[in-house]
Each structure stands twice: as C-alpha cells, then as structure tokens.
Chains A and B, each alone.
Chain A
Amino acid sequence: MNELRERHSPALRILARGLRGEPEALRVELGLAQRASDRDVARMTARLASAEVLAALEAPAHHLTDPRPPRVARSARTGDTSLLGRLEVDAEAELEALDDPRTLALTLRAGSTHLRRATIDRLARLASQGRVSSETAFQLEGELASLRDAALEHRLRKVIAGFRGTSSRRIVEEEDEVCARLVTELSRDVTAFWQGERETEPVTELSAEHRALLLLRLRDAPDAVARHVGAVVEGGDGVVSLEARRGLIESLRHADDRRLVPSLIAVVESAAPELALPAARVLGRMADPRATSALRSAFHRTIEESHRAVVAGALGFAGDPRGAEVVRAIFRTSADAKARGAALEALESLGNPDDALRVAEAFATFSPRDLPIAVYVVGRIGDSRALPLLAELERSAKDPSVRVEIEEARRTIHARLELRGELPASDEVVDVVVAPETIAKGPIVRQFVGFRHYLMGMFFLALGLRERAIGRFHASAEVLGWWAIPLISIGAIYAKQGDYGQALAAYRRALEREPGRVQANAITMRLLSRCFLRRAEQLIKEGRREIALGLVSEAMRLDLRKAPSVIRFELARLERALKRGEA
C-alpha cells in the first residue's frame, strides 16, 4: 500500500504528508480549481483516498505475515546459561534430555511455576512409558507438600495415582467421585439459573472446600460450567456482588483453565483495580500467550506503584521480566507499605540472587504478617548467600509458620545449588554487612566504599586470611553492582583451594556482570574453565551425569579462546561422551 500511495495515489500521498509543498499543484492533481479552499481539498482528498483504498483491495495468493509494526514489544526472560537457566527459558525442550528422577525432583523443588509444571508433564510421559519406578513415585509423593501450589500438587498426584499403594491413588479416586457429583449438580443448577428458575448464582454459594475443588479441576468440567464461571468473573450474571466476584477471581489462582482467559482479560482491561489486580495474578499463572499479551498492555498503562508491582509480578510468572527494575526500585525505596508488599510478592518471579540477599538482609524490618512471605520469596529466588541469614533468623524465630518457611527455603536453595552444580559458601567466611543506606548513596561514595572493601580484601588475601578476604570481596561486589573483579577474586580463591562448587557461583555472577571482561582474561579463563571441568568430573563420580552435562554444555557456550586448549578439548570430549551416555 505504501507503493500505491507513493506512485499511483496523489490522494493518499496528500493525506499522509499534508498540504505542504505546492498547494496549487495539489489542487490540480485532485481535479479541483487552483484556488479551491483547504476545506474542499480535504473533502476531496478523503473521498478519493478511501475509494482508492477500497478499489485496491485484493485477496493474496500467498501467505503474508501481518505487515503492521508490532504494537507491544515482547520481552523474553534472558536466562543464565546454566542447566537451570536453560530449563527456565525452554523447559519443554530441555526436559526431554532429562530422565533421572533425582534431577527431575530437583527441578520440581527449585524451578519456577512454569518449569515445575513442565517437569510434572515430563514425569507423566515417563510414567506412561513405564520409566518411573514405584520407589520414585513414593519419593515424589514426599515432595507434594513442598510444591506449595494446589494446581501443581493436583497434577503431580494424578501422575503418582497411577502407582498402586500410593495414598495419592486413593485421594485422587475420592476427589474424582466428589468432583463428578459436584459437576453434575452444578451443571443442573447453572441451567436452572440461566432459565430463571434459580435466583442465586450457584458457584459462589458452594462451600469453600467444594468451590476450591471445582475450580482446581475446572479444566475437566464441561464447557457450559466453564462459561458460567467466566460470566460470573466478568459480571455477566447480573446478581453476584463485587465482593463475591473478587473472592471468586482470587480462588481461580490454581484453576489453570484457558477457557477463562478471555473473561480474565476482559476484567484486567476494563474493571476497577479491586477486580483487575486479582485477575492479573491469575492470568500470570495461566501459561497462555493471550494472558501475557494482556498483562504487558496492563503493565504499560498502569501508573500507581502498588498496582504496577502486582502486574509486573504477574508478568514475571508469565515469563516476561520487563517489570523487574520497577519492582526492585519499589521494594528498595517506596514508602508505601502496600506497594512494598506487592513488590516483595513480585520478587518471587522477578528477583535475582542479589534481590534474595537484600530481602534476607531486611528480615528484621518485616511485619509478622510479611515475614513468612519474605522467607518464602528468598527460598524461591534461591541464593546461597541467604543461607547464613536464614540460619540466624531460625535462631530467633518463634512463629511456627516462619520456621516452616525457613526449612522449605533452605531445601529449595540447596536444590537450586545442586542443579547448578554449586556448593554453598564456607561457614567460615567472615561476612561484612553492607548497610542499605550505602547502596542508596551516590556513585562517588559507592565507588570509594566499594574500592575500600576490595583493597581490604586484597590485604587480607596477602596475609593468607582467605575467609576474611572473601567477606570483603562480597561486600565490594554488593556495593559496586556492576563490577566483576571482586567476584573473579572470590572465584580464584575457591578455585585454587579446589572448592570448585563454590568457585562456580562466584564466576557465574562475574560473567553476568562483565562477560566480556571475564572471557578476555586468560588467567581468569584458565581457572574458570578448569572449575567447570573439575566440578563436572566430581558430579560424574557422584552419579549426577545430567547435571554434569549441564555444566559442560554451559562452559562450551562461553568464549573459550583464552582458556587452555587442553581444557577446551577435554570439555568438548566430555560433552560428547555425556550426550552419548558413555561418561
């Protein structure tokens, strides 16, 4: 059509560019008098242009992509290149290479909601192929409580229910029976409602337990029931109160039924925040591209801090990290407790290891209501630097819910470390606490403080006080969030000690910060590549071949030109051997 405009259509050209240039020539082109008024020119232009557009319409004889420019940019999660990072970015493809139940159990514990869902689907496929033993099924049953997600628990139970003797089989059979009865009665009540034979809406009148069960298994219910729930969500039933509607939307958190996506999108697009925000939370867990699209639009047009944090968190669950910096800033600096609380929840899906540390360092500032959430978030993000802080909190915490969260967080962090082939830092490291106010200072002050910590670290290293040196380097890295040198130094200390698991953690963080600098340094690359190789060998000896392969593949994606050729060769050989199952 641009071609039409430029070459054949004066009317479209004028419409695009306006009445600049030679007005008399334009008028003549349009068949008007030379002194015709702008008004006449405008009318003729509009008339001719619309006629030309309609006349030029045709049905193409080949496939065309929608030529209009994209209106909302997609933003993919840029995962790290470790096995866990690759699983998070492309779970379905990466999981196909995993069939070790121990590794799958780790992803079930440590992964995001999306990864855990994909892991359960993988387990279901393996079980259908007879490749999951009864012993594994019983072990997985032990993991159910730690899933902390009713929808995931339900899915995994269905997989485990295929094995005789498991309690899941009995539970699923009972639930199937209750649910079937519930759906039959509800279908009848729904029909009566729309026929005007029943005045009150039946779903919101169910008991809490039955409603939860119905909504958990909604994807198995007939279309009419799902459509009815959608109508109530949108307010199309005409009778349910705002409060009840909000309660229903909140209960949909684990529904995972994409038939509800259009209704939830309608609420996010048009309803007041008290309904739109819970709907956004539900959409974030829906694993549907329409949901992600609607959340992107909502994020870009939302202004209020606390609302932005909620939508950003939902987007994070959907795999789009565009709200991460916003959430981080709100958590760090907002004076609005509600916004800060929303940001804390959003960090579950958007937080990075540094965020986990910041949340852990701020445990003392949380209210009793928010502290369990903070601990849960730290666990879900999963950084080993939070382990000493969790231990410290455990010593002082009296609230059982906090103690339970600490235990779960610790197990999740260890699962993440194991998947990444890392080991937690030594208990003997002398941590240096960096006050949050320091992080908030201007760049000159931060540079001074950061360099000072680094120089102190070098001083302690020269004295042979490695643990003190590591503490100072950590502090320097925390103050100067862009600088890789302190992390390289930590990696080097651990590598020279033979603590390859600990060294990997530091080198990975260094690579995230300054990948070019790290990979351009021959000394660093010699130590770094050796860490990957040696750690992979250790894992192979422990029987953790899949994680070893993950490490080696991760190393092979780096720029190894500065690494010793012997190590390069050995990494490539080991990767091939592990893929063939020979190592």
Chain B
Amino acid sequence: MTAPPRIQIVRFPDEPTGGSRPRVRRLTAEIEIDGRAELVAVLEDERGLRAVSSDGATDGPYVAAALELFRDVFEQRGGEPTAAHVTEKPAPSPRDELRNAVDELVTAAVRAGIDSARTAPAFKLACDSLVRLTARMPALGLERFLGRLKNAVEFGDVEECAMLLGGATQLVADLAEETPSERALERIFGWAALPGFPACETPLYEHDFVELGREWVAGVSRAALERRYLVELGSGRIYREIVRGGRGASVGPSPRFLRAGLAIAGAGAVPPTLKLLQYEVSPEVPTHAMEALAAHAHADVGALVEVFRAAHAEAPGQAEPFVLFSPARVIFEDGSGSLVDGAGRYLPLASSEGLELDAALRRECDDQVPCVVAGRLFLSSGGLILRPFAVLLGDGPAARLTRLR
C-alpha cells in the first residue's frame, strides 16, 4: 500500500530533555484513500497497539494505513518515568470541546446522510459525546438541540435536520472566532453557558405576562424539559420559561396572568428564555390582557413566514418560534384544519403528530372564528404548520382564553 499524501510525522527528540522521554498514548488522524476519508484513532495500552476507525472498524485499509504510519511513534520504552515538568497536552477548554464535538456531529450526520444516520455508529458516538458535555456545563439549548435532532433523524425529517445542522455550523463558526462579536456571544449563550463567556441576559422590571401553554419536550431523554410560553403584554414579545424535569419552574396554573417585578430574559434562542424571580400570579386573566393578546396577534400568514425566517436568522439551531395569529376564518376538511388569513392564505394545523390539538381547537371553536390562536410554528414540506396551544374566543367581558396543551 502506498503511503497516503499530506502526512506529517512529528518526532520527539532522541535525547530527552530533563531526563525523560514523553510518551505518546493516542493519536487521531484523518486518512483519505481514493477520495474517501475516515478518522482513525491509534492507541497503546496494556493490550498493545490498537486502532479503530470512525465507522467502528478495527481492520481494513484505513486502520492498516494508520498503524503503518504511526507504529514507530508508539515504539515502547519500558521503565522510564515521565518527567514531572513534561505533561500531556493540556485538556481542551470547554469552548474547544464544544466546538469540536458539534463539528464532529455535523460531519458524522452529513457523511452518513439523514436517511442512514439513525444506524450510523459515528453519528451515535458524536451525539453521545455531546450528551456527556451537557452533564458538565449548563447547556439547556444544547440538550434541546440534541432532542430535536434525534427526533428529526428518527422520522427522516431532512428539512428539520437542515435547519438544526445549519445552526450547529453557525455555532462552530462562532466558537472559532478569536474574539466573538456581540451577536456571536448571544448565539453561543443560547446553546450553553460557557465558562469565561458573558451571560447574555437582560433584566425586565414591572412587566405583565399571560401564559398560553406548556409542553414537555425532548432533551437528552424523552420529555426532559418543561417549557411554558408567555406573552409580554406591552410589547407582544413571546418568551419561554424552560426547566429540566419541571424543577425550579414558577408556580401557578395555565393559563395565568403574571405581574413580574423582576424577570431575566436570556438571549440566543427564539423565543428567548425567561426566569421569573419576583412575581404575582393569578388564575384570572383580566379582560385588558386578553385584549392585548388580540392586539399583538398577526393577521397575515405571509408575516408568519417572515417571523419564522427572522427567528432562524436570529438564533440558528435554537429557534422554535411561537406566535399569536388572528385568522379571518377556520376550515376543517378531510380530517384536518387550516387557519386562513384575509388574503386567502392558509396556515395548516398540525395533525400528524397525533396530539389531537386540531380536534380540540375545532371543538372549542364550535363554528366560531377564534379571535387568536397561539401556537408553535413548524416546518413541513416547504410550508409552515401550527401546533395550537391556546385559543381566545369572544371579545370584551365575554372573552375566554382556553388552554389546549
């Protein structure tokens, strides 16, 4: 076998300085043969010299090439202690670990292809190494990303994977910057709170909110994260309170009216995160609050498309937009429903996931046109669909806000 090109071997000096020769324990190389590349790790332990490629093979041309290249480097020398001042290469920083692990994940996913990623060992290994990272740092955004990606791969949802991996690529680029910009810092914060990086948070004082719905979503495990969606009544901005395992969430029913004396909004995700620190809560949602919901609702499906695009531009890989929509009419045909705007454009309601929220909405509306439907926007076959969480019917004192989810 001919030696592959572009390999540089670094040799340690024959005569050690300070009395001890540094000892190589592991090397990882990207080996390319006939246009196809594999990562091969070569290591030496009590069982001797071994190699394994990123597709899990312990033999084959890539493994053989790596062993041939590095065998000399691993020539064993017994009994010589390692000098105290000669240390192994310092452990990578959390930033570099995260960057490398995410980069590896993107590479493994694209290499295998979404149609096959579910069973590709390299993809699984890459996911597992990210899961291990989430145990070592506050990274709810990363946990959620992993949950979404695994679900998308499981169901072969290429478009969703494209959005997620595109966001992951942006994260890699942001982490690679020597001095990340303010926007990059915000994006990074949406994924994880890295040591040495600023917390991109903004305090909010004396704001009123209405909670519209809750859900449990996948993180590193099923239903690991609880999320509550709240609308700030002054601006119409939507936030989400997110906690792992339901612990540490604010108290109160859903729907609820909240008067927050102090809350902290976190950047880097859409909707942005919200931590409620000082607040009053009531199960009664006052009429003026419901009127504010109606005032802030979008009436145009085209505007929702722009909202979706803007969300993904603002927080790639961390965007799950939640909107208020005021339809001109609602139609139900062939067992599914759509909200229709005044220009005759349609926003289909999610039905394939089997949550039956579309059926619940139909039942609540009972032939009335709802004032507002609040819900999450999803991608589906070139268009958007809405998973409804709450519906506002009627107006004035007769207005009624009903939670669907």
Q: 1/0 contact trace for B390-405 toward A, CB 8 Å?
A: 0000000000101111
CA distance A230 to B253 in the complex (A): 6
Q: Is there contact, CB below 8 Å, between B382 and A56?
A: yes
Q: Is there contact, CB below 8 Å, between A15 and B251?
A: no
Number of residue pairs A-B, CB distance < 8 angstroms: 252
Instruction: Answer whether A63 and B338 are a contact pair too, CB < 8 Å, given A195-B280, A293-B355.
Output: yes
Q: Is there contact, CB below 8 Å, between A19 and B110?
A: yes
Q: Is there contact, CB below 8 Å, between A64 and B346?
A: yes
Closest to A3 in B: B382
Residue B349 CB within 8 A of the other chain: yes
Q: Is there contact, CB below 8 Å, between B165 and A15?
A: yes
Residue A580 CB within 8 A of the other chain: no
Residue A68 CB within 8 A of the other chain: yes
CB-CB under 8 A from B346, the residues of chain A are 59-64
Among A59, A230, A237, A269, which residue has the most Cβ atoms of chain B within 10 A? A59
User: Of the candidates A42, A65, A265, which one forms a contact with B110 in the assembled complex, judged by CB atoms under 8 Å apart?
Assistant: A42
Q: Is there contact, CB below 8 Å, between A46 and B110?
A: yes
Residue A67 CB within 8 A of the other chain: yes
Residue A452 CB within 8 A of the other chain: no
Tell me how far the C-beta of A22 lies from the nearest C-beta in chain B, rounded to whole angstroms: 8
Q: Is there contact, CB below 8 Å, between A288 and B166?
A: no
Instruction: Answer whether A289 and B384 are a contact pair too, CB < 8 Å, given A16-B113, A24-B35, A46-B106.
Output: no
Q: Is there contact, CB below 8 Å, between B353 and A68?
A: yes
Dominant secondary structure at the B interface? mixed
Interface residues of A in 47-79 (CB under 8 A from B): 47, 49-54, 56-72, 74
Q: Which of A33-41, A438-446, A559-567 is found at the contact surface with chain B?
A: A33-41
Interface residues of A in 84-130 (CB under 8 A from B): none
Interface residues of B in 255-271 (CB under 8 A from A): 255-256
Q: Is there contact, CB below 8 Å, between A1 and B256?
A: no
CA distance A366 to B109 in the complex (A): 56
Tell me how far the C-beta of A143 lies from the nearest C-beta in chain B, rounded to whole angstroms: 29
Tell me how far the C-beta of A375 lies from the nearest C-beta in chain B, rounded to whole angstroms: 36
Residue A2 CB within 8 A of the other chain: yes
CB-CB under 8 A from B242, the residues of chain A are none
Q: Is there contact, CB below 8 Å, between A50 and B348?
A: no
Closest to B109 in A: A42
Tell me how far the C-beta of B284 lies from the nearest C-beta in chain A, rounded to whole angstroms: 5
CB-CB under 8 A from A38, the residues of chain B are 30, 37, 107, 110-111
Closest to B39 in A: A38
Residue B115 CB within 8 A of the other chain: yes
Residue B288 CB within 8 A of the other chain: no
Tell me how far the C-beta of B71 lies from the nearest C-beta in chain A, rounded to whole angstroms: 25
Q: Which of B16-24, B156-164, B198-206, B231-239 is found at the contact surface with chain A?
A: B156-164
Residue B333 CB within 8 A of the other chain: yes
User: Of the candidates B106, B338, B344, B354, which one forms a contact with A43 in the assembled complex, judged by CB atoms under 8 Å apart?
Assistant: B106
CB-CB under 8 A from A39, the residues of chain B are 103, 107
CB-CB under 8 A from A558, the residues of chain B are none
Q: Is there contact, CB below 8 Å, between A60 and B383?
A: yes
The number of residues on chain A lying at the interface, defined by a beta carbon within 8 Å of a beta carbon of chain B, is: 83
CB-CB under 8 A from A15, the residues of chain B are 109-110, 113-114, 158, 161-162, 165
Residue B172 CB within 8 A of the other chain: yes
Closest to A196 in B: B280
CA distance A72 to B356 in the complex (A): 11
CB-CB under 8 A from A70, the residues of chain B are 352, 354
Residue B169 CB within 8 A of the other chain: yes
CB-CB under 8 A from A195, the residues of chain B are 280, 282
Q: Is there contact, CB below 8 Å, between A69 and B352?
A: yes
CB-CB under 8 A from B354, the residues of chain A are 70-72, 74, 293, 296-297
CB-CB under 8 A from B274, the residues of chain A are none
Residue B93 CB within 8 A of the other chain: no
Residue A262 CB within 8 A of the other chain: yes
Q: Is there contact, CB below 8 Å, between A238 and B251?
A: yes
Q: Is there contact, CB below 8 Å, between B383 and A301?
A: no
Q: Is there contact, CB below 8 Å, between B216 and A269?
A: yes
CB-CB under 8 A from A19, the residues of chain B are 36, 110-111, 113
CB-CB under 8 A from B109, the residues of chain A are 15, 42
Known A12-B158, A18-B110, A289-B356; 7 more pairs at CB < 8 Å: A1-B381, A5-B158, A15-B114, A51-B166, A59-B383, A236-B251, A288-B360
15 A–B contacts from the bound complex (CB under 8 Å): A1-B382, A15-B158, A18-B110, A47-B169, A54-B163, A59-B301, A59-B345, A61-B346, A64-B338, A65-B336, A66-B380, A68-B157, A194-B282, A224-B283, A259-B403
Q: Closest 10 A-B residue pairs measured CB to CB?
A: A50-B166, A18-B113, A231-B253, A49-B162, A289-B356, A42-B110, A46-B165, A227-B253, A68-B352, A59-B301
